[in-house]
Amino acid sequence: MTGSTLIILLASLWFIIFGLLITYNKKVREILVTGSRVTNKEAYVKFNGIFNIILGILGLVLGILDYFIKGYTLVFVVIFIVMMFSASLLQSLSAKKYK
């Protein structure tokens, strides 16, 4: 297993774990909405949790593809990086409807 595969898989697992924590743990949920100007807190938390879980699953798919298809590691790393930046922008734009 290459370093890039390991990083993609670990980051993706972190997104899944974080999404599950946001969705199902009350303390993490309270920390997320404390101090924010969110009007619909439940919908905001649910959106962030599901978004992170989906992002993690997509990353796991990329990590698995990177593990099995050796010649395209650079392509998978670039796709993962673009996916992370795009997800960040998409999440911030989509979260505006809850504020």
Q: Where are the domains of the chain?
A: 3-98
Record the pTM: 0.86
Largest CA distance in the chain: 48
* Per-residue model confidence as pLDDT tens digits over 10-44: 999 999 999 999 888 888 877 777 777 778 878 88
Segment holding 5, helix H or strand E? helix 3-24
The pLDDT score that the predictor gives to residue 57 is 97
6 pLDDT above the threshold of 90: yes
The pLDDT score that the predictor gives to residue 14 is 96
* Per-residue model confidence as pLDDT tens digits over 65-98: 999 998 899 999 999 999 999 998 988 888 778 7
Whole-number Å distance between alpha carbons of 31 and 88: 19
Which class for 45: exposed (0-12), middle (13-18), buried (19 or more C-beta within 10 A)? Answer: buried
Q: Which amino acid is at 66?
A: D
The pLDDT score that the predictor gives to residue 51 is 92
Whole-number Å distance between alpha carbons of 77 and 91: 21
